[in-house]
Structure 1
Amino acid sequence: MLLKEMVEESGVEVLLRANVVQTVMKDGAVRGLLIRTKSGESLVLAKAFVDASGDGDVAALAGAQFMLGREGDGLTQPITSYFRVLNVNVPALIADCEANRADMWEVVYPKEAGNRNEDYAMAVLLTGFQQRIKDKVAEGFDGIIPKDHITMKTGLIPGEISVNVTRYQGNGLDDRDLSRAEIEIRKQAYCAFDFLQRYVGGFEDAIFLEVAPKLGVRETRRVTGHYILTEADVRGNGRFDDAIGLCNSPVDVHEPGGSRAIMDHVGIGYGIHWRTLVPLDVDNILVAGRCISVDAIAFGSTRNVPACTMTGEATAIAAALAAKRNVPTSAITASEVQARLKALGVWLGTPDEDVPDVLK
């Protein structure tokens, strides 16, 4: 609700269900977009543009270079969707995980909580069940469990669990792959629910509520910018003079083409280069969110919410400055964006910045 109120107060016009079908270019710069809605096609002109589509659709239409998938085979991280379950006995579930602690990677819950589901709302994270999956499949469970582990979290409703276990290997830019993923992921969700009811404590009386209404597409285009943030930058806590945000999201990579995943913490964090938001070859457009300029492993960190939020804020500032001055986005410098971010109290990830180590 707060976000909606902020949008309304800003005076921004929001047009939902609009697809960009073409860019209007002049002298290598984006000047307008041809969009298609239920009302038909319309031309939208603007002074500055930000592609926060996640897939880099607009930048690609404008002719920007991009990377797709890992080196060697081009495979991307798999598509997924959470599913939600109600009426789980959360204390019994936690007791099951503690009794099988060797098979669990993460068992996070409030130690002071009691025996009510209400005590655990939005406070539990469980990852593991790897050996249990292997054992039950060997004993004859023939449902689809596409990952070698299961992650689950409690929700706002007492007894609500969101489960992350579905996985479909496909191209998030291909309509047929996306359609197959919608169908296959739902099959996987019902199989996983069957597994949980049979073999995991606390799920005996659970109720399957829903599969997420939108596919979770982890990876598509990474638009090539004037700098490519690397795995070494992320793991090495890189600091850069033109950084616009300090990010410490773990490197979270779900194995392309496989069933495994890695989750590596990166310490106090790394700076996100301003130049990762500025595409090569195309002017007057910036990129934010999942499609910024990073390599395949660094992407495991930057695809998550903190980096998407930081890059969205930085590009919004730059686009507003460009529009106000009636200049292309390339005329806006990193230092100008940093000045505004500093005024807002943002940690930038620059070399001289004094950042407290919140991990200590």
Structure 2
Amino acid sequence: MSKYIEPAKELTILEEVDVVIVGGGPAGVSAAVNAAEEGLSTVIIEKNGFFGGANVGGYSATIGGLFNSTEDGKPEQIVQGFAGRFADLLEAKGGLVRLERFGHTWLSPHDPFIWKETADEIIEKSGAKTYFHTNFVDTIVKDGEIEGIIVENKDGRGVIKGKFYIDCSGDGDLAYRAGAPFVFGKDGDIQSMTFTFRMTDVDWGKYGEWKLEDVWKKTLEASATGNYHLPRKHPFIFKAPNKKQAIMNATSIVAKDGRTLYPTKTKDLTEAEFLGRKQVREYERFVQDYIPGFENSYLMDTASQIGIRQSRTIVCDYTLKNEDVVEAKKFDSAIVRSAWPIEVHLGDKGVKVVNLDEDYYEVPFEAMIPKKVNNLLVAGRCISAEHEALASCRVVAQCFEEGQAAALAAVQIIKDAKTSRTISIEKLQDKMREKGSLI
């Protein structure tokens, strides 16, 4: 392969601030708001023209992880803090269905536009500075310290310098470029991607008391006819805040040759987008033909990007283990609870779900401290967790709280001349509780 040597360029320093956040999904929005509200000068950069990450751009369109189920099957909210605050704001705007049953637990479907709008408002009010349509390109690192990041947008390339950095990119892009070690799932095997979409003109009254298990039986029945290409036999259908709409988390993207598709490879992402749009039409046709209430429904829109469940997992001081999840382990350094099931999407092999009964586990702060990079924390789906454990702790409510924990840790680090490994965990937890967190 021939090569071209790019000439060296003199880059403008665009910002010099306390905290730099890469990625504007749930973790990034939470980190930016919390850092700015605590008086730190804060910059958040986002490749899209809106906040929300995979939860909005990928149309997962639900807040999972807020609730546990009590012994009598009733919902119990075990995550509050910024996650609860944001959910309350969405609900006040009519943009959230508070409770939708999901297996042994509950989730909260939301309206993607109202999510974007709410994030805009809360970010602007906090005073954090936003760079939309801006790509993170590389890091400037010296002796294990990030001195700046290189970004690129319509104005060209530039440098943003901070005292501390938080990687909320989902893919661990910042940590990876800074030299932190990482893994891909279990021996390179990661969860499959999904292309999510919305249907409209749904008659939920006619759908009635149907459960997801009923939909799954019909999926198998339709597949057996040979008239539908439905690689995922366990599609998820949720009621949207708009009473005529349905959120369709239904597809499963598998490469034509069966290989794993990686969200860190442009070729694989491109193939996934093509495959996803083709599958959307198949699932639209299936629900119109087989599911009560969907006879006159039709495709309203699709996600603006492929939905990603798993990418780089950054190796940190502690890795959340599978047994930590199933045994409901509690930690002295906990920053968030979770009762979300282990939910592993295996492409055309189905979905493996392990419920956690009525208990919950906790995610420790050390799972966000990358090895080999000092002035950096990771938050969101790139935290350090084993393959199955990540399939539980990667959901939205936990991402919100990890972002809050990272921001409040940065306050200690910058104001008290501490490091991620020497801050007072008790002080961090007290501050989180002051902001409503349940830990």
User: What range is the shorter-chain TM-score in?
Assistant: 0.7 to 0.9
- Report the 3-state secondary structure (helix = DSSP H, G, I; strand = E; otherwise coil) of the residue aligned with 1:276: helix
Write out per-residue CA displacement over residues 305-343 of structure 1, whole angstroms, 9 at most, x where no aligned residue.
121111111001111222334554444332331221132
Q: Distance in 2 between matches of 1:58 and 1:82?
A: 27
What is the aligned partner in structure 1 of residue 219 from structure 2? 133
Write out per-residue CA displacement over residues 245-297 of structure 1, whole angstroms, 9 at most, x where no aligned residue.
22222222112562333252353311211100101111100000110011001
Q: Distance in 1 between matches of 2:384 and 2:347?
A: 19
What is the aligned partner in structure 1 of residue 199 from structure 2? 85
Change (3 A) 1:127 1:29: farther
Find 2:162's aligned residue among 46, 53, 56. 46
What is the aligned partner in structure 2 of residue 149 from structure 1? 234
Trace 1:249-260 onto structure 2 (pairs within 5 A). Answer: 249-255=340-346, 258-260=349-351
Work out whether 1:181 is the aligned partner of 2:272. Answer: yes
Change (3 A) 1:223 1:246: same
Task: Give yes or no for contact 2:314–2:382 (8 Å, CA) kept in 1.
Answer: yes
Deviates more, 1:270-279 or 1:193-202: 193-202
Q: Aligned partner of 2:396: which letter?
A: V
What is the aligned partner in structure 2 of residue 246 from structure 1? 337
Q: Aligned partner of 1:41: which letter?
A: R
Task: Give yes or no for contact 1:171–1:178 (8 Å, CA) kept in 2.
Answer: yes
Change (3 A) 1:6 1:131: closer
Gaps of 5+ in 2: 1-116, 255-260
Change (3 A) 1:188 1:257: closer
Q: Aligned partner of 2:321: which letter?
A: T
Change (3 A) 1:330 1:40: farther
Find 2:250's aligned residue among 143, 162, 165. 165
Change (3 A) 1:256 1:224: farther
Write out per-residue CA displacement over residues 173-223 of structure 1, whole angstroms, 9 at most, x where no aligned residue.
110111111111111010111111112222221121111112210000111
Change (3 A) 1:317 1:187: same
Q: Aligned partner of 1:227: which letter?
A: Y
Work out whether 1:33 is the aligned partner of 2:149. Answer: yes
Q: Give, in angstroms, the shift of residue 129 of structure 1.
A: 2.8
- Report the 3-state secondary structure (helix = DSSP H, G, I; strand = E; otherwise coil) of the residue aligned with 1:297: helix
Change (3 A) 1:165 1:268: same
Q: Aligned partner of 1:50: which letter?
A: I
Q: Distance in 2 between matches of 1:267 and 1:291?
A: 26
What is the aligned partner in structure 2 of residue 19 from structure 1? 135
- Report the 3-state secondary structure (helix = DSSP H, G, I; strand = E; otherwise coil) of the residue aligned with 1:20: strand
Gaps of 5+ in 1: 98-106, 108-125, 349-360
Q: Give, in angstroms, the shift of residue 161 of structure 1.
A: 1.1
Q: Distance in 1 between matches of 2:217 and 2:118?
A: 43
What is the aligned partner in structure 1 of residue 53 from structure 2? none
What is the aligned partner in structure 1 of residue 395 from structure 2? 304
Bigger Rg, structure 1 or 2 = 1
Identity %: 29
- Report the 3-state secondary structure (helix = DSSP H, G, I; strand = E; otherwise coil) of the residue aligned with 2:387: coil
- Report the 3-state secondary structure (helix = DSSP H, G, I; strand = E; otherwise coil) of the residue aligned with 2:429: helix
Work out whether 1:214 is the aligned partner of 2:299. Answer: no
Change (3 A) 1:31 1:333: farther
Task: Give yes or no for contact 2:313–2:384 (8 Å, CA) kept in 1.
Answer: yes
Task: Give yes or no for contact 2:237–2:247 (8 Å, CA) kept in 1.
Answer: yes
Q: Aligned partner of 1:271: which letter?
A: E
Write out per-residue CA displacement over residues 41-95 of structure 1, whole angstroms, 9 at most, x where no aligned residue.
1011100000011110000000101121213xx2210110221111112122226
Q: Distance in 2 between matches of 1:140 and 1:232?
A: 40
- Report the 3-state secondary structure (helix = DSSP H, G, I; strand = E; otherwise coil) of the residue aligned with 1:290: coil
Q: Give, in angstroms, the shift of residue 135 of structure 1.
A: 2.7
Find 1:60's aligned residue among 164, 173, 176. 176
What is the aligned partner in structure 2 of residue 287 from structure 1? 378
Task: Give yes or no for contact 1:64–1:224 (8 Å, CA) kept in 2.
Answer: yes
Task: Give yes or no for contact 1:88–1:202 (8 Å, CA) kept in 2.
Answer: yes
What is the aligned partner in structure 1 of residue 108 from structure 2? none
TM-score, normalised to structure 2, is 0.69
- Report the 3-state secondary structure (helix = DSSP H, G, I; strand = E; otherwise coil) of the residue aligned with 1:204: coil
Change (3 A) 1:13 1:60: same
Q: Distance in 2 between matches of 1:326 and 1:257?
A: 50
Task: Give yes or no for contact 1:279–1:286 (8 Å, CA) kept in 2.
Answer: yes
Q: Give, in angstroms, the shift of residue 128 of structure 1.
A: 4.3
What is the aligned partner in structure 2 of residue 8 from structure 1? 124
Q: Distance in 2 between matches of 1:24 and 1:333?
A: 28
Change (3 A) 1:299 1:248: same
Task: Give yes or no for contact 1:127–1:151 (8 Å, CA) kept in 2.
Answer: no
Change (3 A) 1:228 1:266: farther
Q: Aligned partner of 2:332: which letter?
A: D
